[in-house]
Structure 1
Amino acid sequence: MASQWQNLLKNIGEWQGSFTKFSPEGQQLEDVPSILILEGLQDNKALRLTLNRFPQDKPPYNFTSEFSSLNRSMLVFEDGAFSKGSMQWSPVSEFGGEFGLKTDNERLRLVQLYTGESQLQSITLMREKLAGTSPPQRPILTPEQLIGEWRGEATTLYRDWSSDRMATHLKIETEGRDRLSQTLSFGTGSAVKTLRSTAKIEGSRLHFEDSEQPYQILLLPNGASSNCPTTIAPRKRFVLELGWLVRPELRLRLIRSYSDRGEWVHSTLVREEKQR
């Protein structure tokens, strides 16, 4: 198995895109063009990250950082996907997570930020492509694109860098004009677990109110989706998640899971295909 550092090296390149900020209700607040360059140093024993952002009517923003190790709050998967963020939730401090999904010449990143009062503050979506490439343009994700039966595999990385894999089965169905249900099964044999939930559809927002920790899925441009609670309640397990419909029949999901004590326990990458 490749090391965490070797996995991160798969993100080397010049990534051209934008930072698009949304309110918790899905209203676009700003869209800022960006160029992020990740380059290897010392025969890839170190990395330099250079971020340039070009806001309208403001001076360009530039940030440069060099590093040779990973933060303990970050886990990187074999394909270069990564999750990082707060290791512990607290009801009196700011909290958040960042996600990155990757294909050969595209990346989709997402940042979810919470206030010190545990309220979702903002969501920032970053759509990036390698310089010199022309990936396909995808519309805003719709509930209709999610309807169906999805089968795949989940890879979970733990904080000690151990891992496991399991099969997944997700079935999403409509319930009337403004509701949908999803049934998620994962595991094998007698260890299979099944979770069922229902959501109310309100435009680009799916409200799941019947789970242990109520949450919303916000449908975003480029086939993206943001899944997280709008308010984090004490003593309840919860997840933060980025989804990406790469193709009509292929969806990636990256999940950061927290215990009922607010402690980050692991990150999971799901690759699932729609069944015909």
Structure 2
Amino acid sequence: MDRKLQNWKKFCRYYSGDFYGIWTRYSTTGDVIESWRCIRSFRPTADCHEIHHQNHYTYANGKTETKTFKPYKQPITTGLFLDNGFSWGSTTVKSGSTFFSDICLRYENSRATAIAKYDESGSLKRFTVFPEHLGHFVNVATLPPAHQISSDWQGTVQTITPDWQISAPIVTSWQPLEDLPEDYLRLHFTNGISISCPAQVDSRKAFFVAVDWLVNQTLLQRGTRHYDRSGFTSFTVEVFRI
């Protein structure tokens, strides 16, 4: 199957329906800025040649709002899709332009997303984090960081490149976010989602943005966007179990 079409079919298969979530915006120090409810609606046509997307927001003050996006048309999508997650975002760091990374991880009918946003100077500005569930809102359990549960996570990693090439899963070793570059900012949120990323992005340096999702006490996923001096190079999803 054509790689671009295969990517589209994963979008259609795993992200069709109404996803209910609590979106929270955090400062770079992990303080809550604001929180609101959102239902993301992805409605494919019968042949799945188009997907229609709306976001329905309910804010803390009771205000409601619906945002309608242009239809996605087969096989065009900005996201890169694997079975356990997808990602999209800026492909290069450009002076005078904002930069963002959006990583979503998937397990059964649940999703976890973390977005890192940088300003025009490349400085980290804020995070937006939201767990979601297909069909209805759910109460998300409070979970500790993965390294507090076990140091014996065993897993595999799979990679997709910007030209939609997908590697076979291979065995990988787990490293806690705390063992990744010391100068990276790391935040652990109460909904099992964590993030590690640089406080400053620079087109002259390689870097990554990593998102952990502790699905439950025995299942951990990690999605990572990788960049080198030329720009975005790959998205990886690691799945660990104990």
Q: TM-score, normalised by structure 1?
A: 0.78
Q: Is the 8 A contact 2:93 2:202 kept in 1?
A: no
Where 2:8 maps in the other structure, the secondary structure is: helix
Question: Which of 78, 87, 98 is the matching residue for 2:83?
Answer: 78
Cα deviation, 1:193-246, whole Å, max 9, x if unaligned, reads xxxx5xxxxxxxxxx42xxxx312210121100111111244221001211001
Q: What corresponds to 2:215 in structure 1?
A: 246
Rounded to whole Å, the distance in 2 between the matches of 1:151 and 1:31 is 34
Check conservation: 2:178, 2:186, Cα contact below 8 A.
no
Give the total of aligned pairs. 236
Q: Deviations over 1:123-175 (max 9, x none)?
A: 000121112575x6321533653540222111000111112232111255xxx
1:232 aligns with 2:201: yes
* Partner SS, residue 8 of structure 1: helix
Report the counterpart of residue 72 of structure 2 in structure 1: 67
Post-superposition Cα deviations, 1:82-139, rounded to whole Å, max 9, x if no partner, equal 10000111233210011111111211111110001111101000121112575x6321
- Counting only pairs closer than 5 Å after superposition, residues 1-20 of structure 1 correspond to structure 2 as 3-9=6-12, 10-20=14-24
In 2, are the aligned partners of 1:73 and 1:86 still within 8 Å (CA)?
no
2:58–2:65 Cα contact (<8 Å) kept: yes
Larger Rg: 1
CA contact (8 A) 1:113 1:120 kept: yes
SS in 2 for 1:163: coil
* Relative contact order, higher structure (CA 8 A, sep 6+): 2
Q: Does 1:223 align with 2:192?
A: yes
Aligned to 2:224: 255
Residue 176 of structure 1 corresponds to: none
Distance change in 2, residues 1:121/1:236 (3 Å)? same
Percent identical among aligned pairs is 22
Structure 1, unpaired ranges of 5+: 173-179, 183-196, 198-207
One-letter code of the match for 2:234? H
1:23-67 alpha-carbon deviations (Å, 9 max, x no partner): 010001111011111111142110011101111226322111211
* 2:236 equivalent to 1:268: yes
- Residue type at the aligned position of 2:189: L
Distance between the aligned counterparts of 1:29 and 1:104, measured in 2? 30
Moved more, 248-257 or 233-242: 233-242
Structure-1 separation of matches of 2:116 and 2:136: 29
Q: Which runs of 5+ in 2 are unaligned?
A: none
- RMSD across aligned C-alpha pairs, in angstroms? 2.2
TM-score, reference length from structure 2:
0.88
Trace 1:144-223 onto structure 2 (pairs within 5 A): 144-145=147-148, 147-164=150-167, 165-172=169-176, 182=179, 197=180, 208-209=181-182, 214-223=183-192
